[in-house]
Amino acid sequence: EDQVTQSPEALRLQEGESSSLNCSYTVSGLRGLFWYRQDPGKGPEFLFTLYSAGEEKEKERLKATLTKKESFLHITAPKPEDSATYLCAVQAGETSGSRLTFGEGTQLTVNP
Amino acid sequence: KAGVTQTPRYLIKTRGQQVTLSCSPISGHRSVSWYQQTPGQGLQFLFEYFSETQRNKGNFPGRFSGRQFSNSRSEMNVSTLELGDSALYLCASAERASTDTQYFGPGTRLTVL
């Protein structure tokens, strides 16, 4: 059974204080790892897709990296508007179609 | 392009009733998946439809069902509602299946009293 674990559960940062969120996974045949951001009461907003170990993607203050066991979401000089829950999800196996298995998320709060 | 839309946004039902939720995918997207989100269980996969066929089903009881129409719009139905069915129900669409990125709608907040 695919498992995705995110840490920490919650993270408080001061504006400008860089940090990283972790997503470790145990799957059979990773096909893709996805990062989403979710604001309260809204649907998840797509951030990145990573397909193979060593891959990196960047968008504004965010950078996602992937190894064979985990992914990191690096947040550089965060702003209060980066406050949200960040979700990691995997697609794995040959017969699972589009099915995503999600981690529990990291709730990020950035204080001004 | 317009995003994924879901209706209604909020629903209040009582135990034993049934409910139908609707999802309109992004134009051109043929894959629609449904997820349930609760504080205790997080986001859990319900089922996926592609070209009007159910491709995958999660570990939910048979009270949960869905369908997809020829225009890719999808509905999910929950019969004999239980208190534990209270959740945010999210629909996601993708161009095809496989590893295409899924884009989520705003969700339908279902409260069962």
3-state SS track over chain B: CCCCEEECCEEEECCCCCEEEEEECCCCCCEEEEEEEECCCEEEEEEEEECCEEEEECCCCCCEEEEECCCCCEEEEECCCCHHHCEEEEEEEECCCCCCCCEECCCEEEEEC
Average pLDDT, chain B: 94
Angstrom distance (rounded) from CA A79 to CA A21: 16
pLDDT of residue B97: 66
Write out pLDDT tens, residues B70-83. 999 999 999 999 99
Shortest CA distance from B106: residue in chain A: A43
Q: Which residues does chain A have within 8 Å of residue B68's beta carbon, measured at their own beta carbons?
A: none
In A, which residues are within 8 Å of B97 by CB distance?
Answer: 97-98
To which residue do tokens 């170990």 refer?
A53
d(CA B8, CA B6): 6
Token pair 């959740």 is at which residue? Answer: B87
Nearest chain A CA: its distance from B20 CA (Å): 19
> How many C-beta atoms lie closer than 10 Å to residue B6's C-beta?
21
Residue (of A22, A23, A16) closest to A100 by Cα position: A23
Mean pLDDT over residues A77-90, rounded? 97
How does pLDDT run across A22-71, given as a tens digit for each residue? 999 999 889 999 999 999 989 999 999 999 999 999 999 999 999 999 99
pLDDT interval class at B45 (50, 70, 90): very high
pLDDT of residue A64: 98
Q: What angle do CA B94, B112, B103 make, to 5 degrees?
A: 10
At residue B8's C-alpha, the angle toward residues A46 and B110, to 5°, is 85
- Among the partner residues B43, B103, B105, nearest to A46 by beta-carbon distance: B103
- Residue B26 CA to residue A38 CA, distance in Å, equals 19
Would the CB atoms of A100 and B102 count as touching at under 8 Å?
yes
Reported as half-sphere exposure (CB side, CA atoms, 13 A), residue B34 has a value of 32
- For residue A49, the chain B residue with the least C-alpha distance is B101
Share of chain A above pLDDT 90, in %: 86
On chain B, the residues whose CB falls within 8 A of the CB of A102 are 42-44
Minimum CA–CA partner of A93 in chain B: B98
The residues facing B10 across adjacent strands are B109
Tokens of B21: 């939720």
- Close Cβ partners of B55 (under 8 Å, ≥ 6 residues apart): A97, A98, B31, B48, B49, B97
Residue A92 CA to residue A35 CA, distance in Å, equals 15
Q: Are A45 and A55 in contact (CB under 8 A)?
A: no
Contact B102 A98 (CB under 8 A): yes
- CA-nearest residue of chain B to A88? B43
